[in-house]
Structure formats: C-alpha cells, structure tokens
Structure 1
Amino acid sequence: MEQGTPASSAGVSLKQTNTKWKTVVLVFGTILLAAIVLFFFQHNYFKDPQRLQRLIAKAGPFGPLVFIIFQAIEVIVPILPGGVSGSLGMLCFGTVVGFLYSYIGVIIGSCAAFWLVRKYGVRLLAKLVDPALFNKYYTKLHDSKNFKKLFAILIFLPIAPDDLLCMIAGLTKMKFKTFLIIILLGKPVSSFLYSYILVKGMALI
C-alpha cells in the first residue's frame, strides 16, 4: 500500500522536547537575516542587484556551490526564516539562474529529509520540527483517503510547510519515485513566486 500508511504506526505523534538548540538556531538566523538585509541596503543591492551579482561572480564556481549546499541544509535545519534564501539566490545570481540554484538545493534537501526520516523515523522528527505543527499536518494527511493527492496539492501551495511535508512523507510507504515526481513538479511554481515577490517587495522599500 503506497498511500498514507505510516511506515511505523498509525498513532504517530510528537511530544514537546528540549528545544534549546532550535531557539539558538532561530535567534542566529534572525540576526543573520538582519545583518544581510542591512548589508544589502547599505550597498544598494536591492535597488541594483547587478552590483551584487558582479561581486558574487568573483567567487567563481564556489559561490553557486556554497549556495546550493546552504539551500539543501535549509530544508532540514531552517537557518533563515520563511524561504528567504531563495530570494537571496535571485539577488545574488539573477532571477532565472538564482532560482535554478535554489531549486537544485531544495530538491537535494527535500530528498535528504525524506530519506533521513524514513531511516530514523520519529526520533529524528522530534529533534527537527515543532511537535504541534507536525501533529496538525500529520493528522490531516494520515486521515486523508488519498494521501498522495493531498501531499501534491500542499507541496504546490506556497503557504504550506513544504519541508515538514517532505519529512512526513518519509514516515509513509510512499515510493521515493512518486515523492520525487511530486517534488520536481510541485516545488518550482510555489518557490519561484514566493522568492520573486519577496525580491520585488524589498526593491520597493
């Protein structure tokens, strides 16, 4: 059975665990984001992103590689809030190329999240995600008669917690091939729209 039956048990739920490290990451991420925004404003990168792109180009292939790795890690351990890294990619590398790098990183990170949860199960989820948010979405997906379709719809929507959904999918018996197809087709639209709108919004400030 492929759709919606958890690999462990039907009664999966997470209890509140020690979230000290999550708080540290959140604080660090907020400070890092504030520093990046301030730096970009000081150098007028939001108004003239070509200047930033010329600066990044000096790093050669290491710039894109570091960004892709960072974007992949962001899926599993969110350092910057709310998909901001995708917007930074567009500013650093241009709209199309930046989105492509971001997309590659997100796909790698999503697949890694899926396989890590499939291997380590609830023990890993308890360390990475908010229990209340997990229980909310896991209940919706598990109770659905068609997990695969609901998962695909949520992945397509820019407001859904895609990273968490990828981890939840790892708890089910969904085939990796099915998961990958949904991610490959569902991620681009939502990721692009979210990042592009955010970039344009920052440019107007």
Structure 2
Amino acid sequence: MSSQSSDLLPVNDALTVAEAALRDHAAVVTALMPLLPTVADLAARMVETIRRDGRLLLCGNGGSAADAQHIAAELVGRFERDRRPFPALALTTDTSALTAIANDLGYTEVFARQLAALGRPGDLLLAISTSGQSPNVIRAAEVARDRQMTVLGLTGRTGGALLPLCDLCLCVPSDATPRIQEMHIFIGHVLCDVIERTLGEAGR
C-alpha cells in the first residue's frame, strides 16, 4: 500500500463527516422556517418585476455565481412546467466582459459595469453573497440603487455590508459557507417555483 493510500480518510470517518454535515444542514433548515415569509416576499417582488416588464439580473462569486446562473437558467428555460420564458440574466457568464472589466477597471467593477450598461429603472438585482461582504456584489447593489432598481439579497447570518443596500434581504441563520449555500439554492428553487406557478400560464 502506498503512503498516499494510507493517508486517505477511512470509510467510517467519512460517514461521520457526512452524518455531521447532514445534522448541521437539518439544523439550518429548521432555523430557516421562521424566515419563510421573507422568501414569499422575495418571490412577490420578483413576480411584480416581471409583470411590469422588468428584468431579473443576478450576481455572485464562486458558488454564489453558480447559484446566480442556476436560478437564471431555470427562469429562462423551465423549472418544472412548460411555459413562457422569464427575463433573467446572470451577470457572471460573459467571460469577455468579466475579464475585460476586471483587467481595465478592477474586479470590484465586474458586475457594476454591466449593470450600468444593462440595468433599467424597474429591473431587479438579486445579489448573492454568503458573507454579505463581497466588494463587487456591494458595488453592484450601489449601482442598482442608483439606477432605481429593486435590490434583493441572499446572504449569511449578519447580512454584512450588503444588508443596508437591499430593499429586502434574507440572511440565512448560519455562519458556515456550505450550509448557507445549500439554503441559497433551496431558496432559489422556491423562488423559481413560485414565479412559475404564478406567471407560467400567462402565455407560452
């Protein structure tokens, strides 16, 4: 047996890790229950934006970038029902724009610059940051407010510096990034489901 193999985590220890993670996940799910009215309010604001012919713009870094893209894809494509597409755009997907802006203006501006070009009064920004402290997400929220857009946030426990920039922010009651991200995509799925159930029959 190689020394590398002997350093691997034993199966029983891996099960212990998985069980602990699942217990932590369940605890955060339970703690999230009192915040479900906020989830409903987030969905209502997104529905109203679409009804007024506004667009949903989303941003985040790392896992939160993946969540932004995931949610936008569910809205433009479909979640569980065949229906008309909804206007959603993740600001994390245009690699040429992202790299040019980061190179020329700095990484803090990668989302703000796109919002300055694309955001309109009546549009909505969904800003996702587990810490609420991501400088580029905070800057995006500032630009969105300047452009008279609605700003919604998904963050962790404290909300960080993003919280006061949001019209409405859901702060997942956890300090653990994996647990916060797990709740963010759960919330994202609920938002997609509500939007689809509310607006999905209005044309295809």
TM range (shorter): under 0.3
Structure in which a larger fraction of residues adopt helix: 1
Structure in which a larger fraction of residues adopt strand: 2
Name the TM-score, length of structure 1 as normaliser: 0.24
Name the TM-score, length of structure 2 as normaliser: 0.24
Q: Which has the higher contact order (CA 8 A, sep 6+)?
A: 1
